[in-house]
Amino acid sequence: MNADPAERDTDSWRILLCAGRGLELLVLKRPLGICLPVLRIPRHERIAENLNAEARRSWNLDTVCIAPITVPHPDRTSGDARYHLMEVLRPEELGRIAPKAMDFRALKADCFSDTRDYLAVRRAMKLDAGEALCDQPGPFSDFGAFRRISAWVKEQLEALGWRWDGAFRQLHSTESFALIRFQTRDGAVWFKATGEPNRRELAITRGLAKLYPAFLPEIISVREDWNAWLTKEAEGLSLDSNRDLGAWCQAADSLARLQIASIGQTSSVLDCGAHDSRTVKLLSEVTPFFTAIGSLMERQIKASPQRLSAQEIRSLELRVGKALRQLESLLIPDALNHFDLNPGNTIVRSGGCTFLDWAEAGVGYPFLSFEYLRQHFLRTFGNESGAATKFRRSYINVWSTLLPQSAIDHAMALLPLVAPFAFAATTLPWNTSTRKPTPESAAFLRSLARQMQREAEQLMSAA
């Protein structure tokens, strides 16, 4: 039978909904035993925000997410189950939907319809000595994390003469990651905290905000022990779902101006923790990268899409290396790059643009970032050639004040081949000696290799 469309497009989470700092927990009584409630949320969207919204819809409760938890089946007869630990903002409200109290310490595994629920409950209620509440330790891995965060935010706002009005949006939540928008009558602020592998984002953001304040949000305060910072909300509208060609052209123009401003300051950017994606560095990665791609192709289980052969991978390796050496010969100066540049972190205002989420900042060949943004532009505007020409010209015109048009044209022709390699080699876990690729990242790396193969063939046919 085919899956229900709602199930195909959603993910299910078993919910550990707690109150009273974990002393109370919502469970359901069913004929086969006790079980935990399940919430379904849209797939590939922000988990915390959608779980909070679904809890409000289902139970009329205001909640915050703490962190996801994975519980394996004790005898491995079933797969892992995904849980999310959540907390009721006003503990007394849990009694409205679950008025009867239950002593969880007296419950046995056979009281539950699924043993994994029993194990998850024991973790949530801290019934096993030494058992960690969440999968990984972190500053937000326990009950009351949101209260601690909001109290700190209120203190920082007081220094501005601002006051939080109680409204918030929790977009992301794990043991060490948090992204929350707090509303005030004077404007909104954003609290962000990051852990590994993005821990360096704070240092990068602080450094870039000092160097280029016109292009980054204003930092209000920093909390070092949480690796967290608070910023004023950037003025303007994001490019996400935005078909205003003028806004996209403004973003391209601002990106070029930011990058030109960074020329000569690349050492400072690298000192902040940005990736080294300079051409010399990328050239040194070509052979080991494509060797790794060859291994990933060999491990591909499915027959479709077709694996690249060893000969095709070797040919692609040579073509990418040649393209990088051609770029090097153009003598285009190194500049700031954003390897996660997308419509959601590009905020456009009249006459300017603010760029967010700098965990994947880099220093190197500057036009790479434009290529990443251009790919999103194509998904939004499709085959509107006039719009694409205007968008491209908005970026190139700024660089034309510094570079000859022939160098720009040559470089732009190589971008579709070089940009996927630079992104993968710089940001993805392809090097098994440092980070072993997950099955998902391995599939993505193979997909990027096929994309590079298509681009290399197009370059050959155009020559």
- Alpha-carbon gap, residue 12 to 6, rounded angstroms: 11
Q: Which of 273, 84, 41, 46 is nearest to 175 (CA)?
A: 84
One pLDDT digit (tens) per residue for the chain, 463 residues: 344 545 568 999 999 999 988 888 999 999 999 999 999 999 989 999 999 999 999 999 999 999 998 887 676 656 678 999 999 999 899 988 888 767 777 788 899 999 899 999 888 887 776 667 777 778 998 899 999 999 999 999 999 999 999 999 999 999 999 999 999 999 999 999 999 999 999 999 999 999 999 999 999 999 999 999 999 999 999 999 899 999 999 999 999 999 999 999 999 999 999 999 999 999 999 999 999 999 999 999 988 999 999 999 999 999 999 999 999 999 999 999 999 999 999 999 999 999 999 999 999 999 999 999 999 999 999 888 899 999 999 999 999 999 999 999 999 999 999 999 999 999 999 986 666 788 899 999 999 999 999 999 998 887 6
The H-assigned helical ranges of 18-109 are 47-59, 94-97
DSSP 112: B
Question: Which pLDDT score, from 0 to 100, does residue 8 have?
Answer: 64
Third-level CATH fold of 5-124? Nucleoside Triphosphate Pyrophosphohydrolase (3.90.79)
> Which of the following CATH numbers is that of domain 145-232: 3.10.20.30, 3.40.640.10, 3.30.200.20, 1.20.1260.10?
3.30.200.20
Task: Give every CB contact of residue 417 below 8 A, 6+ residues apart in sequence.
Answer: 319, 320, 323, 452, 455, 456, 459
State the residue for tokens 């949006």: 169
Residue 103: the pLDDT is: 75
For residue 32, the one-letter residue type is L
* Extents of the domains making up the chain: 5-124, 145-232, 237-462
Please state, in angstroms and rounded to a whole number, the distance separating the CA atoms of residues 417 and 460.
11
Partner residues linked to 12 by β-bridges: 40
Listed residue (189, 199, 190) closest to 226, CA to CA:
199
* 3-state helix vs strand vs coil in the chain, percent to 5: 45, 20, 35
Count the Cβ atoms, other than its own, within 10 Å of residue 57: 10
The CATH class given to the 237-462 domain equals alpha beta
> CA 41 to CA 50: how far, in whole Å?
6
Label residue 232 exposed, middle or buried (CB < 10 Å: 0-12, 13-18, 19+): middle
Q: Which two tokens stand for residue 202?
A: 């704070």
Q: Are 135 and 123 in contact (CB under 8 A)?
A: no
pTM assigned to the model = 0.91
For 72, residues 6+ apart whose C-beta sits below 8 A from its C-beta are 80, 116
Q: What is the pLDDT of residue 76?
A: 61
